[in-house]
């Protein structure tokens, strides 16, 4: 169906009866030249607008915003109602402009207070509005012509906004009933005509406006369905600025608009040309300009403030000095027409003139900390001002990210190939309705959901989290176990797969265990098979409730997993042997280090002893009766091994390691007997010669040490 929303046609019905000439009682200062007034001149009294003037100004502001943002396809039919109805324009696109409406409103003039109250009624305008909604617009006629054979597929919906001064809630209900009856009558007429269309849906917005300071007898009411073709809502609003705010909110609701306030706009003061001040300007535009905020979940970033009505909020963006560096200018992802809220204010006028002169304004998100983010830009094209949305996140024009990228761009080992196969196995295809249900009465959609549920009961997404899905030997079992029912041949295939795994374990074949993120060699072979059997049992158990044959597959897995005692003993001996090999390899490295320390200490002690006893060693060497003595390992005193209680300054790592090695070596070797029996760390040599000859060893040329 060619959809035309209710926003396609809007009929404004403004009451022009005598009671609309009443003052709204909100005074406006008329004499603004207070400083230059000469003495003795009486100031002019303040003035107040009538209800009619307030209604016309607010409705025209509604139309101005609509025409600024939607120059086409959003149409307004303006109707004035008094003793008769005055239709000021048509649905034609050439009549959709504020200048045309203002000129015809000037012809209508203000309400006549002396007019007969019995003749004036808002009902004349409501009847004309319903009849106007039945008329075709240019776009509806084009759609019906295109779909000549199926013209009924073009729908007709619209909205009626009625500005009046109602008497009570009963009066409001009477107006709703009258509109309902009129729609039914007009639909009957349209059904018999080729130039009219029946109304499928009509939205009635009744706005009761009353003077400031009076009590109202009409209560607000949210939207309510009156019938299948009519819905109604009631707003009771004081005239003046309150009515203007209400229609500003309604135009945003009706046409899916949003508000953006530009802050810190530098402008020079009129009175002081050398100084400047910062101003704010509020703009309306399509809601999609805030789509990036909506996607990020931060629709109202820092600095956003609620509107005066409390029903809408505005997003605050900060004026940014234009940059000429192309690096800082991001590409545009959308452009939306804008309309100033207060079009006649000096800040709005200066901003629009600045933009229409060919300048551009960058807008940044206000942030308390961090670098600034330029998210929007204001620029004009062909005399119209657009709010451009700049990309401040990942580019939508770049290549899509790789499927292997996880959160934050981290590369992950997803089972991409397996997932592609998974999608092919679970594709949905059209199915004839006549053959839709199977023998069990399930429709294809339910069967598809059941298959998808079975395939995803156990399906690891990452390669490193699974073992069996990386093994080609397990593929037959994994493909069959997810079936809703198994045949005897399927059970034999699954059992054969399990037996092949047992044979692999007996041969001690390696498994595709991922070692990503682990240190060393990874788990041992026996541990790898234990992980594999655990995962295989988990997979089969998730489908054991499907049928009895699934249970037989699980029994086979459990039986093959429980090894006989001799097999367990063999595995235990193998584990002990591997532990001994690892321990021996580790101890070999430690003993090699200790031997190197011992050799270095022995060489150092020998050099020191030769330096201290150089004369005596020469005597021994020159003597023909004594062989050259062997180098003895010097005795390490315990006082030398222990660190002092209070060391002067920090102890180096080398010193600590040397002390540890020396202490370990002192406990390993057997001390020399002569050193144990020595006096003052000196042992007398060749005592047996002294005992045999009964003389001093010095007399025979023997040296004592």
219-254 pLDDT, tens digit per residue, is 999 999 999 999 999 999 999 889 999 999 999 999
SS3 content of the chain, % helix, strand, coil (to 5): 45, 20, 40
Q: Are 424 and 431 in contact (CB under 8 A)?
A: no
pLDDT value for 324: 54
pLDDT value for 106: 93
The closest of 150, 85, 94, 155 to 120, measured between CA atoms, is: 85
pLDDT value for 702: 44
pLDDT value for 622: 45
pLDDT value for 266: 83
Phi, psi of 25 (to 5 degrees): 65, 25
To the nearest 10°, the Cα dihedral for 445, 451, 453, 457?
Answer: 180
pLDDT reading at 519 higher than 50? yes
- More confident call, 512 vs 486: 486
Could you tell me the two tokens for 97?
């402009």
Q: Among the residues of 336-484, which ranges form H helices?
A: 346-356, 416-425, 444-455, 475-481
Q: Give the helix/strand (H/E) hosting 111.
A: none
* Helices vs. strands in the chain: H and E counts, helices first: 20, 17
pLDDT reading at 488 higher than 80? yes
**Cα torsion 652, 655, 657, 660: sign:** negative
| Residue matched to tokens 């990942």 | 394
* Residue 256 region by backbone torsions, left for phi larger than 0, else alpha for psi between -120 and 50, else beta: left
Q: What is the DSSP string of 381-398?
A: ETTEEEEEEEP-SS-SSS
List the beta strands (DSSP E) in 292-331.
305-306, 313-320
Percentage of the chain with pLDDT > 70? Answer: 71
pLDDT reading at 650 higher than 60? yes
- Span 6-30+45-255: which CATH code? 3.40.50.410
Report the pLDDT averaged over residues 602-621: 53
pLDDT per residue as tens digits for the range 132-155: 999 999 998 888 888 765 656 788
Percentage of the chain with pLDDT > 90? Answer: 37
d(CA 538, CA 479): 15
Topology of the domain comprising 258-390:
Ku70; Chain: A; Domain 2 (2.40.290)
pLDDT reading at 632 higher than 60? no
Give 624's pLDDT tier (boundaries 50, 70, 90): very low
pLDDT reading at 24 higher than 80? yes
pLDDT reading at 687 higher than 50? yes
pLDDT value for 529: 87
pLDDT reading at 679 higher than 80? no
- More confident call, 295 vs 121: 121
Give 261's pLDDT tier (boundaries 50, 70, 90): very high
pLDDT per residue as tens digits for the range 27-74: 777 766 665 666 767 777 778 889 999 999 999 999 999 999 999 999
**Extents of the domains making up the chain:** 6-30+45-255, 258-390, 410-428+440-562
Which of the 8 DSSP states describes residue 370?
Answer: S
Mean pLDDT lowest among 174-178, 423-427, 458-462, 668-672: 668-672
Give 75's pLDDT tier (boundaries 50, 70, 90): very high
| Residue matched to tokens 């406990």 | 667
Instruction: Kindly give the pairing relationship between strand 221-225 and strand 257-268.
Output: unpaired
Could you tell me the two tokens for 500?
């092949």
pLDDT per residue as tens digits for the range 174-213: 999 999 999 999 999 999 988 899 999 999 999 999 998 8
Q: Vertex 401, ends 398 and 403: CA angle to 5°?
A: 155
pLDDT reading at 303 higher than 60? no
The closest of 134, 138, 20, 23 to 80, measured between CA atoms, is: 20
Give 617's pLDDT tier (boundaries 50, 70, 90): very low
Give 308's pLDDT tier (boundaries 50, 70, 90): very low
pLDDT reading at 99 higher than 90? yes
pLDDT value for 27: 78
Mean pLDDT lowest among 86-95, 366-375, 391-400: 391-400
Instruction: Kindly give the pairing relationship between strand 257-268 and strand 276-286.
Output: antiparallel
pLDDT value for 401: 61
Q: What is the DSSP string of 627-681?
A: PPPPPPPPP--HHHHSPPSS-SSPPPHHHHHHHHHHHHHHHHSPPPHHHHT-BTT
Give 704's pLDDT tier (boundaries 50, 70, 90): very low
pLDDT value for 115: 80
Mean pLDDT (the chain, rounded): 80
pLDDT value for 640: 45
pLDDT per residue as tens digits for the range 538-567: 999 999 888 899 999 999 999 988 665 555
**Cα torsion 351, 309, 47, 36: sign:** negative
pLDDT value for 1: 42
Q: What is the DSSP string of 197-223?
A: ---SEEEEEEEEEE-TTPPPS---EEE
pLDDT value for 698: 46
């Amino acid at each position: 169906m060619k959809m035309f929303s209710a926003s396609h046609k809007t009929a404004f019905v403004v009451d022009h009866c005598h009671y609309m000439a009443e003052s709204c009682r909100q005074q406006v200062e008329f004499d603004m030249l207070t400083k230059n007034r000469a003495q003795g001149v009486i100031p002019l009294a303040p003035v107040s607008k009538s209800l009619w003037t307030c209604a016309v100004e607010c409705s025209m502001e509604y139309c101005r915003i609509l025409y600024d943002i939607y120059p086409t396809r959003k149409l307004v039919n303006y109707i004035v109602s008094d003793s008769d109805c005055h239709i000021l324009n048509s649905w034609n696109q050439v009549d959709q402009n504020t200048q045309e409406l203002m000129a015809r409103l000037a012809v209508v003039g203000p309400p006549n207070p002396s007019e007969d109250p019995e003749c004036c009624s808002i009902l004349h305008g409501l009847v004309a509005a319903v009849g106007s909604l039945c008329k075709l617009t240019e776009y509806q006629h084009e759609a019906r012509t295109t779909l000549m054979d199926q013209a009924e597929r073009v729908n007709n919906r619209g909205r009626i906004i009625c500005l009046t001064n109602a008497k009570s809630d009963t009066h409001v209900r009477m107006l709703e009933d009258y509109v309902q009856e009129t729609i039914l009558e007009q639909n009957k007429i349209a059904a018999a005509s080729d130039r009219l269309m029946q109304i499928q849906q009509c939205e009635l917005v009744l706005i009761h406006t009353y003077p400031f300071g009076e009590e109202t007898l009409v209560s607000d009411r949210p939207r309510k369905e009156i019938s299948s073709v009519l819905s109604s809502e009631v707003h009771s609003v004081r005239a003046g600025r309150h009515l203007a705010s209400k229609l500003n909110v309604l135009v945003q609701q009706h046409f899916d608009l949003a508000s953006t306030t530009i802050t810190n706009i530098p402008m020079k003061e009129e009175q002081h040309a050398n100084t400047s001040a910062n101003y704010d300007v509020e703009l309306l535009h399509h809601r999609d300009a805030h789509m990036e905020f909506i996607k990020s979940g931060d629709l109202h970033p820092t600095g956003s403030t609620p509107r005066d009505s409390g029903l809408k909020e505005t997003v605050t963006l900060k004026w940014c000095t234009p940059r000429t560096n192309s690096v800082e200018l991001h590409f545009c992802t959308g452009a939306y027409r804008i309309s100033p809220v207060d079009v006649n204010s000096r800040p709005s006028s200066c901003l629009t003139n600045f933009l229409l002169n060919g300048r551009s304004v960058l807008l940044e998100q206000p942030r308390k900390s961090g670098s600034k983010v330029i998210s929007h830009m204001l620029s004009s094209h062909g005399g119209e001002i657009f709010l451009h949305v700049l990309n401040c996140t990942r580019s939508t024009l770049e290549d899509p990210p790789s499927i292997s990228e996880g959160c934050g761009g981290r590369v992950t080992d997803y089972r991409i190939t397996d997932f592609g196969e998974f999608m092919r196995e679970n594709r949905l295809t059209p199915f004839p309705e006549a053959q839709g249900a199977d023998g069990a009465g399930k429709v294809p959609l339910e069967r598809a959901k059941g298959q998808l549920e079975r395939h995803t009961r156990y399906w690891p997404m990452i390669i490193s989290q699974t073992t069996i899905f990386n093994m080609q030997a397990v593929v037959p079992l994994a493909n069959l176990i997810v079936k809703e029912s198994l045949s005897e041949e399927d059970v034999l295939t699954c059992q054969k797969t399990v037996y092949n795994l047992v044979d692999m374990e007996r041969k001690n074949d390696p498994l595709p265990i991922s070692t990503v993120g682990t240190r060393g060699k990874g788990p041992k072979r026996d541990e790898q098979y234990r992980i594999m059997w655990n995962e295989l049992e988990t997979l089969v158990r998730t489908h054991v409730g499907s049928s009895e044959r699934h249970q037989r597959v699980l029994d086979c897995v459990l039986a093959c997993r429980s090894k006989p005692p001799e097999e367990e003993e063999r595995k235990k001996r193998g584990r002990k042997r591997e532990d001994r090999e690892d321990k021996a390899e580790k101890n070999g490295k430690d003993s090699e280090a200790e031997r190197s320390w011992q050799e270095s200490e022995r060489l150092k002690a020998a050099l020191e002893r030769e330096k201290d006893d150089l004369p005596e060693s020469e005597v021994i060497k020159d003597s023909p009766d004594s062989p050259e003595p062997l180098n003895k390992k010097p005795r390490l005193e315990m006082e030398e091994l222990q660190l002092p209680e209070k060391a002067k300054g920090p102890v180096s790592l080398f010193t600590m390691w040397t002390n540890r090695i020396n202490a370990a070596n002192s406990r390993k070797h057997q001390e020399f007997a002569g050193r144990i029996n020595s006096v003052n760390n000196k042992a007398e040599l060749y005592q047996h010669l002294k005992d045999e000859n009964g003389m001093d060893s010095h007399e025979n040329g023997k040296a004592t040490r």
